[in-house]
Structure 1
Amino acid sequence: MNPAPAHGPVAPPAPAVRTVLGDIAPADLGVCDAHDHLFLRSPQLPGQELADAGAAAAELAAFRAAGGAAVIQWTPYGMGRGAAELPRLARESGVRIVAATGLHQAVHYAPEVLERIGADPAGLFVAELTEGIGGSGPRAGMIKVAGGFHGLDRHARYTMAAAAEAQRATGAAIGVHLELGTGALDVLDLLCGELAVPPDRVILGHLNRSPDLAVHQAAAGAGAYLAFDGPSRAHHATDWRLPDALAALADAGYGDRILLGGDTTTAGARSVNGGPGMPYLLRRQRARLELALGEELVTQCLTANPARAFAADWAGTASGHRVTG
């Protein structure tokens, strides 16, 4: 008879949220803005770059004062993520920050930026998730990609295929920019159908901009997370439609699929510049949603849901970076 091993089987790693200061237990994430930007630049937004570290620090302080504890920055590769600044901002503000890898729509890049990536975007994504942004910076904690208006062009399909490969290698969640909130089911057909990404690793963004309740419930029923992110803009569905959309999801049993965020994309939209900014989610939207949905569900959407959505087992990730608390 063979002797019993001295030690039992090695337990799989516990799920963790990968922040710019290290991995944390999901329960430690706290009240979370599940989709926002501290730094961002795009040729589509000339003169409105989020590039001022001082303004980012002030925005985080305002968010913290409103009761916020964590921000997921969806700014991907090549769009001025401010990766070198993020750890310092997290330490000084006390707000946990998750950075992103991935790629946005091609229109947001100069051609030479995309050329730098070469033929292996998945390799770039995996390296930024496991080794660090730029090789020595903080590690990304999610993958960001983007669809188009009611469809998926060649660039979207190419980047989503790379995201799926990186997801399989690391376990990271994939956040998807839906153009004006459209194309959610096309994205799920590609990512979860053709590319076999687990639906609970997909976060569909901007669904507040297209209040199609049937699509919302179909996406939630498939197992994806649904992000409702940002106050109303002139060409979007207005805030007063949001409570009904979320109530319909909750009534259908999908309250655990809802995420809430701010999506600050221009300098003028920052609260420190007179806009709604990051605090708006907690200062205005939270109270409005609690009137319609109840405090318990809204708290779940701001805490337990993002903690689950952004946590991963981080397969293939080198050890030695984990922190707790």
Structure 2
Amino acid sequence: MVNRVRTVLGDVRPEDLGVCDAHDHLFLRSPKLPGQELDDVPAARSELAAFRAAGGASVVQWTPYGMGRRTADLPPLSRAAGVHVVCATGLHQAAHYDPQFLGALRAGLADLFVSELTTGIGASGVRAGLIKVAAGFHALDAHAHWTMAAAAEAHHETGAPIAVHLEHGTGALDVLDLLCDELEVPPHRIVLGHLNRSPDGVVQRQAAETGCYLAFDGPSLAHHATDWRMPDAVKALADAGFGHQLLLGGDTVVSGARSVDGGPGMPYLLRRVRPRLVATLGAELVNHILTRNPGRAFAVDWP
């Protein structure tokens, strides 16, 4: 078996990902974000083209099951832009779904994840390349325990990486206690998202010491007060020997945040964040974070 990253156009070698936005969204819909949906195919096409023009080569979309992934639209968008796109299965927090929708999934959630990772997502045939789950604010509720248990079961069957939304960047150690200690998921198969939103260097280092990947993403209006601290946090982790575990993403979640709608969008990661990090970390390490690290984080010996 050979490690491959599972994209919407098929499996590719980790080294072929190129410059990677390791956490973003082309499409997303949630009742928590009324009127701000990412649901416009032409806008997604333009955003992906703008990312490509800025030097981007791959995007990992963390939008999970039931949140408007538009999986049938992803292959033509990927092909037209010349950008690899990785699609997610999984579930977000309960607040993003109708209770009846979640009730229908109560039995067989792990089987759903496995099917989307191996057989494909509905009629699109697109196969997911990661499992997205979510924690709460400094806590893991019953929904998080349920979804993470299903994600762990799917991981053990497929090897798929598990990407975790940390609410406001909190709860990293509780997530690792559950996934690694109780559910026996290897730490290097876990990606923790939004760590920049809670700039606690001690927790970030403790998380890194387990061997998991740490994703720093943004910018955003909601988290601007912590976004600007990200370069120093990344440098501290790199100086401590964890540079090979760091990932960068844009996390565009609402329509107004896209560059084509006047926001920073996907290109901002390469236009502004990369030069800022190069000044702090040096070009070689930033290049590794944008290219080599995502290949390792998302590559799997797929069955």
- Of 245, 262, 273, 1:274 maps to 262
CA contact (8 A) 2:21 2:290 kept: yes
Unaligned runs of 5+ in 1: 1-12, 318-325
**RMSD between superposed Cα atoms in Å:** 1.0
1:55 alignment partner in structure 2: 43
- Of 260, 266, 272, 2:248 maps to 260
Unaligned runs of 5+ in 2: none
Q: Give, in angstroms, the shift of residue 137 of structure 1.
A: 2.1
Q: Specify the SS of the correspondent of 1:253.
A: helix
- Of 155, 169, 191, 1:167 maps to 155
- Of 171, 185, 188, 1:200 maps to 188
CA contact (8 A) 1:208 1:237 kept: no
Q: How does 1:65-214 map to 2 (within 5 A)?
A: 65-134=53-122, 136-214=124-202
Q: Provide TM-score, normalisation by structure 1.
A: 0.92
CA contact (8 A) 2:173 2:207 kept: yes
Q: Give, in angstroms, the shift of residue 239 of structure 1.
A: 3.2
Q: Give, in angstroms, the shift of residue 122 of structure 1.
A: 0.3
- In 2, Cα distance between the equivalents of 1:177 and 1:208? 12
Q: Which amino acid aligns with 2:47?
A: E
Q: Specify the SS of the correspondent of 1:84.
A: helix
Q: Give, in angstroms, the shift of residue 233 of structure 1.
A: 2.5
Q: Which amino acid aligns with 2:205?
A: Q
- In 1, Cα distance between the equivalents of 2:276 and 2:283? 10
Count, aligned residues: 303
Residues 270-314 of structure 1, C-alpha deviation per residue, up to 9 Å, x if partnerless? Answer: 000000000000010000110011001111110000000000011
Percent identity over the alignment?
Answer: 70
Moved >6 Å (runs of 4+): none
CA contact (8 A) 1:205 1:228 kept: yes
Q: Give, in angstroms, the shift of residue 236 of structure 1.
A: 4.7
Return 196-205 or 111-120, whichever deviates more: 111-120
Residues 213-245 of structure 1, C-alpha deviation per residue, up to 9 Å, x if partnerless? Answer: 111111111010000011142445433311110
- In 2, Cα distance between the equivalents of 1:200 and 1:183? 18
Q: Specify the SS of the correspondent of 2:300.
A: coil
Q: Which amino acid aligns with 1:20?
A: V
- In 1, Cα distance between the equivalents of 2:106 and 2:137? 26
- In 2, Cα distance between the equivalents of 1:205 and 1:307? 16
Larger radius of gyration: 1
CA contact (8 A) 1:39 1:81 kept: yes
CA contact (8 A) 1:210 1:237 kept: no
